[in-house]
A and B are shown apart, each in its own frame.
Chain A
Amino acid sequence: MSAIRCRGLTKRYGGRSVVVALDLEVDHGELFGFLGPNGAGKTTTARMLLGLVKPDAGEAWVLGSRVPCPQRLPEIGAMVEEPAFYPWLSGRRNLRIIGDEGGPLPVGAVEEALELAGIAGAAGRKVKTYSQGMRQRLGLAAALLRRPAVVLLDEPANGLDPAGIRDLRATLRRLADTGTAVFLSSHLLDEVEQVCDRVAVIDRGRLVSVGTVSELGGVGERIRVTVQPAETAAACTALCAWTVTSDATAQVLVVGATGREVNQTLAGAGIYASALVAERASLEERFLAITQGEHHAPAAG
């Protein structure tokens, strides 16, 4: 049973489609990246999974229960967009309120979550004195308060300092390793590429690609070969079984072949490369290739 499943999830606002027939599955113990430009429909999808927004069509299941599933909410930790708290209360009191609203908490859960999010030192201060990064950390503490089976985070790295981002990555990895399904919605490619097991790319409400990070980035995998300038034409001819391009710097780019295949082929033709480097297109390149296929106006996200 998947931790999260969507089938044909659709949401329209005033005739404008924000999410269109979205199909997704996230397994337990998986760190799933949900990637898309601003206004792609990421936040709306997260809200639909949490029962905050009603879909116009399609269905979603979380932990096997069809959304909306109030009885499952204590097992879902969530942070949607910028976390919101009561500014006149302390961070600790805010977490206690969240605890009271969602059902009984394990003993020491509040302090544990504060420690985990790295905000324990400021937990006694009123939230109105917090910086954005501190609020973000408190939001993470709120999401992890109940040791949830599913964690749904929307742009969790916003406002975090580099140390905070590093801690966040480590925390998410640890959660996934202990069986928690982590749904990480972000427009930050680096964040997703570094931690996620699988990535879905959404653009203008439509799912355009799903796969592992290497699968998505690996579509453009290539071998950069450096030969003597006089041998460039011969190398291109020898490697014609694959897509080959060359430039004036005596370098040949081979797409679709492995390094071993390229090496063998060139040797068979009596050409000895002075350098042979395997390059993998980054997720960023792939993401931009997918989402910038055509000009589009941002929609609500």
Chain B
Amino acid sequence: MRLLRAELTKLCRPLTYAIAAAAIGASVMFAWQGVKNASRAERQPAGASPPPTCRDFSLPAGSLCQEAISVEVRVRAFQQQQAATQPSTRHNARPSDALPVEQPLAAGKLALGFMASLPGALLIVLLAAGHVGNEWNGRTIKTVLCQEGRRWRVLAAKVASLWVAATAIVAADWVVLGAVSPILKAAYPLGGAGLSWSSAWSAVAADAARTPLIIAVFSCFGLAAAVIVRNALGAFALAGAVILTSLMVAGNFSAVAPWTLTWWVAGWMQFRPHGYVIYHFWVDGFPAGLHNPGALVGLVGLVGVAAGAALAAVTVFGHIDITT
């Protein structure tokens, strides 16, 4: 606990505050934009839009215009049919998908999804790079190891402090979104009475239970990168590159997608295609022939990633000479 307290004290720094501000600011912006779009869509659903005219296409009346109107009518009919038969997607989302953002408890879904996906991954590895990698940049690693020689304990305290800090950022984000939700509801009402507290809890409980593991995995990942590279900037570059590569590979190569961090995160968090509100920044789907992974597969994969990263960090840190 003493080591953890020391690490948490070190995290009381401008970098941490900036990361928290960035996470909260971005979440609020996405909430606002999502609710605004949903509200607009609700007021003017696709089926109720006025019939197209030649003026809409900037065409003179005639056969060409009639052909364009005919195509537009067929497209709208197809979109309505898609919306009725498929879950919400980016193109045919339902405004009701945005309801959680207008309920203080359920608004946390956005904060949790934000931190459990790409922005959270990058922010956590940035925090890890600054917190761990900077021990070499600032030459303070020798000060630490002159006090506590059991290097694995130093790493354990580091990763625990990263997890605590990232979780605190999610909590702060949740609180801010909860405070903003009544304002969004007043500005962009989505109709109906909104979500009840029990419905709100149902909407957010699973994400709240699953996100801490993702934060732990990202923390281990950032820690390993920082120990291997032993430089703040290099650690961020390495970890960020691996995460982005994983996303690109998983989205394009079906043979290797099931062996990527992207696959396991998507499986554990049960991310689904989003609608008007972007509840996560992860892949919407995998290459043809691959179904979304289950939570158990995700859990096993993530535990493996965390264990591998921790093992790499302990092995490297246990054997290096501190010459800074």
Indicate whether A47 reaches chain B with its CB closer than 8 angstroms: yes
- Asked whether A47 and B148 contact (CB < 8 A) given A82-B139, A84-B143, the answer is no
- Asked whether A69 and B10 contact (CB < 8 A) given A82-B139, A103-B2, the answer is no
Chain B residue contacts of A100, Cβ below 8 A: 2-3, 5-6, 9
Among the stretches A85-93, A182-190, A207-215, A265-273, the one at the interface with B is A85-93
Chain B residue contacts of A103, Cβ below 8 A: 2
Chain A residue contacts of B138, Cβ below 8 A: 84, 86-87
Q: How many Å lie between the Cα of A97 and that of B2 in the bound state?
A: 9
- Asked whether A51 and B9 contact (CB < 8 A) given A101-B3, A101-B144, A103-B2, the answer is no
B142 and A84: CB pair below 8 A?
yes
Chain B residue contacts of A78, Cβ below 8 A: 146
B321 and A101: CB pair below 8 A?
no
In the assembled complex, 14 residue pairs joining A and B whose CB atoms fall closer than 8 Å, in A order, are: A47-B142, A52-B146, A70-B149, A80-B146, A84-B143, A86-B10, A86-B138, A96-B9, A97-B6, A97-B10, A100-B3, A100-B6, A101-B3, A102-B147
A52 and B321: CB pair below 8 A?
yes
Chain A residue contacts of B148, Cβ below 8 A: 70, 73, 101-102
Q: How many Å lie between the Cα of A51 and that of B166 in the bound state?
A: 32
Residues of chain A touching chain B, judged by Cβ–Cβ distance below 8 Å, are: 47, 50-54, 68-70, 73-74, 76, 78, 80, 82-89, 93, 96-98, 100-104, 142
Nearest Cβ on chain A to B315's Cβ, whole angstroms: 14
- Asked whether A101 and B6 contact (CB < 8 A) given A51-B149, A69-B149, the answer is yes
| Extra pairs beyond A73-B146, A102-B148 (16, CB < 8 Å) | A51-B149, A52-B146, A52-B323, A53-B322, A73-B148, A73-B149, A83-B143, A85-B140, A85-B143, A86-B10, A86-B140, A89-B12, A89-B13, A97-B6, A101-B147, A104-B2
Chain A residue contacts of B319, Cβ below 8 A: 54
Indicate whether B145 reaches chain A with its CB closer than 8 angstroms: yes
Chain B residue contacts of A86, Cβ below 8 A: 10, 13, 138, 140
Q: How many Å lie between the Cα of A87 and that of B142 in the bound state?
A: 15
| Chain B residue nearest in CB terms to A69 | B149
